[in-house]
Amino acid sequence: MRSKIKDIFLLVCTGVILVLLPVFLSRNKPIQMDLPILTPEEAPKEAPKPAPPPVEQQPAPTPKINKLAVCEEDEDCIIVDQDPCGCLSGPEGVTAINALYTLEFNEQHAGVITKACPDVPPSTERECSEMAQAVCINKQCKIVY
């Protein structure tokens, strides 16, 4: 039994020596690199930066037209929930669009993450009031209240 333990001990010691031998025999010298040293005269000159273009007077931004809300008459418009909670999240939770674009609107909002809606009664102010209705104003569906 003792000879087996002795053989195993010698085998382990031999393995450790073989693993550590390259470490002891290696030299820890840094790699030498010969890089040329450039003098200021030899250094490449930086190209002058071009002057920024003159700032032109920007025209006033035109109001953004919502393609989904384009209409001809009041009957084209409907009120839809743009927030998963609708009027539970306040008047900002609804908007007016053209009824013909309901499918496109739903596709745009299909990726909206479902969230827990507040445990409060729906808002009854402005866009969420019983008097709110979708109408066509300047060829855009709007909510009036």
Q: Is residue 54 part of a domain?
A: no
What percent of the chain clears pLDDT 90, i.e. is strictly above it? 23
Least confident among 9-18, 57-66, 71-80 = 57-66
Tell me how crowded residue 71 is: count the other CB atoms within 10 A of its CB: 24
The residue with greater pLDDT, 130 or 134, is 134
Tokens of 124: 């009854």
In a domain, 30, yes or no: no
**Is the residue at 126 inside a domain?**
yes
Q: State how many domains the chain has.
A: 1
Is the confidence at residue 66, as pLDDT, over 70?
A: yes
Domain that holds residue 95: 67-144
Q: Is residue 20 part of a domain?
A: no
Is 137 within the bounds of a domain?
A: yes
What is the Cα gyration radius of the chain? Answer: 38
Q: Is residue 112 part of a domain?
A: yes
Q: Is residue 89 part of a domain?
A: yes
Cα separation, 135 vs 79, whole angstroms:
9
The answer to whether residues 122 and 115 touch, using CB atoms and an 8 Å cutoff, is no
pLDDT at 63 over 60: no
**pLDDT for 74-133, tens place per residue?**
999 999 988 878 888 777 888 899 999 989 888 887 776 666 777 777 777 777 888 889
CA distance 26 to 19: 12
Residue 70 clears pLDDT 70, i.e. is over it: yes
Task: Note whether residue 107 is domain-resident.
Answer: yes
